[in-house]
Amino acid sequence: MERLGSLKARILGLIIIVCLIACGGEEKSPSKNQNKRKVERKKVERPNFSSDSTYAFIQKQVDFGPRVPNTKAHVEAGNYLAAKLKSYQLEVIEQEAQVVAFDNTKLNIKNIIGIYKPELNNRVLLFAHWDSRPFADNDDERQREPIMAANDGGSGVAILLEIARQTQIVKPNIGVDIIFFDAEDYVDNSGSIEDYCLGSQYWAKNLHKEGYTANFGILLDMVGAKNALFGKEFNSMKYASAYVNLVWNIAADLGHQQHFDPRPTRHVGIDDHVYVNEIANIPSIDIIQYDPATRSFAPHWHTHDDNMDVIDKATLQAVGETVWAAVLEEGK
């Protein structure tokens, strides 16, 4: 009994030691677990966002015709966009200017800025270009005629109009600035890279409010086409990779991995966010349709096929609720 008891005790002791060694890694370091818990981000909630309303906002822009600077449709569409932002109780600044295009045409442009809760310092900047391209240079025909630009222009603006509408429903405690930049696309292949993005270049050098800044910026460009893929864009990763990862994680939380591709894309050119990063010093990302596998924009890019037929509500929903969730998270 004595020996057995002693053996039992030894075995028990051995089991305890083995268990301490085997289980110790997890049991003895509660602080490590706590740290792990801290860095684990809570899944974001799905915000209300209407792709029906967004689709109608694209249709409305297209109904004006091509929104090419120095045309009647451009003036009318610009007035509509400013009035729409005002109707959602945003403070609106219409920043008018004259800029010189690649072919020396003087363009009368207007950046349209909608400001939600101007009194707050905690702010997020959302932007898209509202002008449409005067050429269809990638088309087989009518190459010198303007395109409808339902996707390349219309889709980003429409999502931001819907977010403006949602601010009045949700009333989040964060400042939101929505900027529709003009003259992003008024240049053909004879121009240089600096001839793109004339509206955002002007704004970055002439901020609508002295000392204006925001925590981060999100640019939407070609965000409404069916089965669109958004790779992690080169300049976004260069200037604001933390925000790219944040937005892509939110998209994953909401189940939109089929659109938000985790692969980085190569340099695809200059877009409005480059000047917002470089001149206005606001870390900004670009959600832009670009397929990392085929290394190309959509087939309808800069053609007459960029019309309502390419627009898909599922894509608008995925991008819209992801961006809106990112804004609401920043306000928590």
Nearest distance from residue 196's CB to Zn ion, in Å?
Answer: 8
Cβ nearer to Zn ion, comparing 197 with 327: 197
- Do the bridges between strand 123-129 and strand 216-221 make them parallel or antiparallel, or are there none, so unpaired? parallel
**CA-CA distance, 280 to 274, in Å (whole number)?**
9
Closest CA to 114 of 94, 91, 88, 83: 91
**CB of 218 within 8 A of CB of 329?**
no
Binding residue count for Zn ion, defined by CB under 5 A: 2
**How many Cα atoms are found within 13 Å in the side-chain-facing hemisphere of 198?**
26
Q: Please classify residue 127 by burial: count the beta carbons closer than 10 Å to its beta carbon, then call 0-12 exposed, 13-18 middle and 19+ buried.
A: buried
**CB of 47 within 8 A of CB of 324?**
yes
CB atoms within 10 A of CB 234: 16
Cβ nearer to Zn ion, comparing 118 with 299: 299
Q: Which stretch binds Zn ion (CB under 5 A): 34-42, 92-100, 148-156, 281-289?
A: 148-156
Cβ nearer to Zn ion, comparing 203 with 301: 301
Q: Is 182 in the site for Zn ion (CB under 5 A)?
A: no
CB atoms within 10 A of CB 331: 16
**CB of 203 within 8 A of CB of 277?**
no
Q: Is 195 in the site for Zn ion (CB under 5 A)?
A: no
Nearest distance from residue 185's CB to Zn ion, in Å?
Answer: 4
Closest CA to 259 of 234, 289, 282, 284: 289
Q: Is 185 in the site for Zn ion (CB under 5 A)?
A: yes
What is the DSSP annotation of 294-319?
TTB--TTTTSTT-SGGGB-HHHHHHH
Instruction: By CB under 5 A, name the one of 81, 109, 127, 152 that touches Zn ion.
Output: 152
Residue carrying structure tokens 């990392």:
292
Cβ nearer to Zn ion, comparing 37 with 267: 267
Nearest distance from residue 302's CB to Zn ion, in Å?
Answer: 6
Cβ nearer to Zn ion, comparing 13 with 299: 299
Nearest distance from residue 273's CB to Zn ion, in Å?
Answer: 14
**How many Cα atoms are found within 13 Å in the side-chain-facing hemisphere of 306?**
32
Q: Which stretch binds Zn ion (CB under 5 A): 9-17, 179-187, 242-250, 268-276?
A: 179-187
Nearest distance from residue 153's CB to Zn ion, in Å?
Answer: 7
Cβ nearer to Zn ion, comparing 232 with 302: 302
Give me the 59-98 binding string for Zn ion, x by CB under 5 A, dash otherwise: ----------------------------------------
Nearest distance from residue 80's CB to Zn ion, in Å?
Answer: 21
Cβ nearer to Zn ion, comparing 272 with 330: 272
The footprint of Zn ion (CB under 5 A) covers 152, 185
